[in-house]
């Protein structure tokens, strides 16, 4: 009797904790995109851009090394996303040495006439770079989306290797979300050689329309960054610091008490930047974001690990810029292949349809169980209801997302619960037909069906694990609901249902005998 009381207390505690976990459901159950509304995006990563950046960077490193070694170079140019060429190199030994230091690990080198060299990215390296670009893009997008505060977003690979699926439940400002996701946020700090000039033509005329290959003409704002006019700077092509050197970025205030973005550098970049600024005191430093000079302050003294980006920013713009800088720069730009907006009204209709389907399925189960198993059907119905309560409570505790496929998991859970009880009841009927008493038939029915229930549920759990591992958002929602429902069903079909039988047997033997005998009708 004491053991029975303990079991009843455990069941009541589980029910209470489950209800407390998900009530009120409108606040504690996370709804997915198909139920809450939001944005569905499919993006393509332009991996060829990342390959071109590698080619350009390697070419610049080679040319810079040759220049430092006083080796004359006639011409250098990128001939494709995966190749570049040098012409007129006067010292073959110096080129081979520089190539061994910077290019040979990733590029195949071929020699032509007149001191020409062609470098082509190795196929295996190119494939790995494409894969790394997509993975880095996915990680960066996920960090940015999480920083938006979206409840349970979905960021996963989709379709072909270069596509990414993004689902944002409950998002209303679609354009802001898209801007934050696709903003490449490439930050560079480069030395200003000349400028600012009022036009791009005047900047090029300063070099007789023959800008050296190690320099770039770049648009930007004036030095103060307050007039909004576009001017042009001539800056070093190879920056002193890049965005991947950032350790953190946050909103700050500039000298005019206006919103700005402050940043700090990693230790190795800070040491490199400190030496760079110390050597260039009195010159202007261009703070370049996505190919535009945001500001070009004068280097007054050695700068180690901190800096600031100023401009015509409001508070929201500064916060968004700090967010994308913290999350890291995208290695390549993104193309939007698909965009769908699910309205909250459609989501509410889906919720009503899902609830209607679930309640309808439960009612049909009730009618069947009461018609076929008579009084014993109440035990099965109670265990199924407790199963659903545990399922809702567990989803709330684990912050799982409820989707339309999740509703399908709910309905399947009802079916699994009925299946387990049918196995138990049919076994009890066999024991009663063999002449056993009600108590002996109940004990034998539960004991002998136990391993059958374990086998069927383990097989279903394995299937759910594969669905969760390899499925996208909605499929994972179904797998999550199914997994929790299966585990709860083992508890309710065996523990709860058996406790109810034993409680009736211990207190009302006649009623329990009638309930058990009803199984054999």
Report the distance separating Cα 518 and Cα 521, nearest Å. 5
Percentage with pLDDT > 70 across the chain? 88
pLDDT band at 118; cut points 50, 70, 90: very high
Nearest to 306 by CA among 258, 243, 249: 249
265 half-sphere exposure, CB direction, 13 A CA radius: 22
Mean pLDDT lowest among 117-121, 156-160, 454-458: 156-160
Q: Is the pLDDT reported for residue 510 higher than 70?
A: no
Which residue, 126, 148, 166, sits at the end of a domain? 126
Looking up residue 270, the CATH number of its domain turns out to be 3.30.1360.200
Same domain, 366 and 428: yes
SS3 category, 221:
strand
Q: What is the mean pLDDT of the chain?
A: 80
Residue 148 in any domain: the answer is no
Q: Got the DSSP string for 336-351?
A: EEEEEEE-HHHHHHHH
Report pLDDT for 155.
Answer: 84
Q: 520 φ, ψ to 5°?
A: -95, 5
Neighbours of 143 (CB within 10 A): 15
Structural domain containing residue 81: 48-126
CA–CA distances in Å: residue 282 to residues 197, 296, 478: 19, 12, 63
Report the distance separating Cα 166 and Cα 186, nearest Å. 22
Name the most confidently modeled range: 81-85, 156-160, 302-306: 81-85
Q: Is the pLDDT reported for residue 127 higher than 80?
A: yes
Same domain, 492 and 364: yes
CA–CA distances in Å: residue 239 to residues 192, 310, 495: 10, 19, 68
Same domain, 276 and 407: no
More confident residue, 201 or 264: 201
More confident residue, 419 or 316: 419
Q: What is the pLDDT of residues 235-246, one digit of tens each?
A: 988 788 776 677
Report pLDDT for 472.
Answer: 64
Same domain, 500 and 412: yes
Residue 26 in any domain: the answer is yes
Beta strands 215-221 and 230-236 are antiparallel
Same domain, 495 and 357: yes
Report the distance separating Cα 393 and Cα 396, nearest Å. 5
Residue 333 in any domain: the answer is no
Report pLDDT for 225.
Answer: 45
**Measured in Å, how far apart are the chain's first and last C-alpha atoms?**
30
Same domain, 364 and 509: yes
Instruction: Describe the chain by its helix, strand, coil percentages, rounded to 5.
Output: 55, 20, 25
pLDDT band at 454; cut points 50, 70, 90: confident
Residue 276 in any domain: the answer is yes
Same domain, 199 and 112: no
Looking up residue 104, the CATH number of its domain turns out to be 3.30.1360.100
Same domain, 366 and 236: no
Report pLDDT for 235.
Answer: 92
Residue 260 in any domain: the answer is yes
Report the distance separating Cα 162 and Cα 44, nearest Å. 6
Residue 371 in any domain: the answer is yes
Percentage with pLDDT > 90 across the chain? 5
- Counting the structural domains of the chain, the total is 3
Instruction: Supply 501's token pair.
Output: 């039988």
Which residue, 271, 295, 314, sits at the end of a domain? 314
Report the distance separating Cα 162 and Cα 195, nearest Å. 40
Q: Is the pLDDT reported for residue 271 higher than 50?
A: yes
Ranges of beta strands (E only) in 310-387 are 334-342
Residue with token string 């097989």: 459
Instruction: Supply 349's token pair.
Output: 């209709």
- Sheet of strand 334-342, all strands in order from the earlier edge strand to the far edge: 154-157, 163-169, 38-45, 334-342
Same domain, 110 and 217: no
Q: What is the DSSP letter of 309?
A: E
Nearest to 409 by CA among 325, 484, 303, 507: 484
Q: Is the pLDDT reported for residue 520 higher than 70?
A: no
Mean pLDDT of 406-421: 81
Q: What is the pLDDT of residues 340-365, one digit of tens each?
A: 777 665 566 767 777 787 778 778 87
Report pLDDT for 325.
Answer: 67
Same domain, 53 and 27: no
Q: At CA 354, angle to CA 348 and CA 355, rounded to 5?
A: 90
Q: Give the contacts of 166 (CB within 8 A, at least 6 positions apart).
A: 39, 40, 41, 42, 43, 141, 145, 153, 154, 155, 181
Which residue, 126, 147, 167, sits at the end of a domain? 126
Same domain, 369 and 401: yes
Residue 332 in any domain: the answer is no
pTM: 0.57
Same domain, 219 and 116: no
Looking up residue 446, the CATH number of its domain turns out to be 1.20.1640.10
Q: Cβ distance 113 to 87 under 8 Å?
A: no
Q: Give the contacts of 299 (CB within 8 A, at least 6 positions apart).
A: 277, 280, 281, 282, 283, 284, 285
Q: Cβ distance 247 to 270 under 8 Å?
A: no
Residue 27 in any domain: the answer is yes
Report pLDDT for 226.
Answer: 45
Q: Cβ distance 204 to 216 under 8 Å?
A: no
């Amino acid at each position: 009797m004491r053991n029975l009381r303990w079991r009843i207390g455990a069941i009541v505690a589980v029910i209470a904790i489950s209800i407390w976990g998900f009530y009120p459901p409108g606040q504690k159950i996370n709804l997915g995109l198909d139920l809450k509304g939001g944005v569905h995006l499919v993006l393509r990563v332009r991996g060829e851009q990342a390959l071109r950046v590698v080619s350009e960077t390697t070419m610049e490193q080679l040319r810079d090394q040759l220049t430092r070694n006083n080796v004359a170079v006639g011409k250098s140019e990128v001939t494709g996303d995966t190749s570049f060429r040098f012409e007129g190199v006067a010292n073959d030994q110096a080129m081979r040495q520089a190539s061994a230091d910077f290019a040979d690990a990733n590029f195949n080198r071929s020699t032509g006439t007149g001191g020409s060299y062609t470098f082509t990215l190795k196929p295996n390296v190119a494939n790995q770079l494409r894969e790394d670009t997509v993975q880095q893009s996915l990680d960066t997008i996920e960090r940015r989306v999480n920083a938006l505060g979206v409840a349970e977003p979905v960021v996963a690979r989709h379709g072909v290797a270069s596509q990414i699926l993004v689902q944002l439940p409950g998002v209303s400002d679609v354009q802001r979300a898209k801007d934050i996701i696709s903003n490449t946020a490439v930050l560079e700090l480069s030395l200003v050689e000349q400028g600012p000039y009022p036009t791009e033509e005047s900047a090029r005329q300063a070099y007789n329309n023959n800008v050296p290959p190690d320099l770039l003409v770049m648009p930007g704002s004036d030095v103060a960054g307050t007039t909004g006019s576009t001017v042009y700077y001539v800056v070093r092509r190879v920056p002193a610091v890049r965005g991947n050197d950032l350790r953190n970025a946050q909103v700050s205030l500039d000298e005019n008490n206006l919103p700005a973005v402050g940043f700090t550098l990693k230790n190795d970049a800070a040491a490199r930047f400190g030496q760079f600024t110390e050597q260039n005191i009195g010159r202007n430093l261009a703070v370049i974001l996505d190919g535009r000079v945001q500001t070009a302050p004068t280097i007054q003294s050695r700068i180690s690990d901190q800096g600031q980006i100023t401009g015509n920013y409001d508070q929201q713009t500064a916060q968004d810029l700090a967010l994308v800088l913290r999350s890291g720069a995208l290695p390549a730009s993104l193309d939007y292949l698909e965009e769908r907006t699910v309205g909250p009204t459609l989501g509410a209709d889906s919720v009503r349809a899902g609830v209607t389907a679930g309640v309808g399925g439960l009612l049909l189960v009730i009618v069947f169980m009461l018609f076929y198993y008579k009084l014993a059907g109440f035990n099965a119905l109670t265990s199924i209801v407790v199963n659903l309560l545990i399922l809702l409570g567990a989803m709330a505790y684990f912050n799982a997302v409820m989707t339309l496929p999740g509703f399908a998991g709910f309905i399947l859970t009802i079916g699994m619960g009925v299946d387990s009880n049918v196995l138990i009841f049919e076994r009890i009927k066999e024991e009663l037909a063999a002449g056993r008493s009600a108590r002996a038939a109940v004990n034998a029915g539960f004991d002998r069906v136990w391993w059958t229930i374990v086998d069927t549920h383990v097989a279903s759990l394995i299937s759910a694990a594969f669905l969760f591992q390899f499925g996208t958002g909605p499929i994972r929602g179904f797998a999550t609901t199914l997994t929790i429902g299966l585990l709860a069903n083992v508890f309710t079909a065996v523990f709860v249902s058996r406790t109810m039988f034993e409680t009736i047997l211990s207190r009302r033997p006649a009623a329990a005998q009638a309930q058990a005998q009803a199984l054999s009708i």
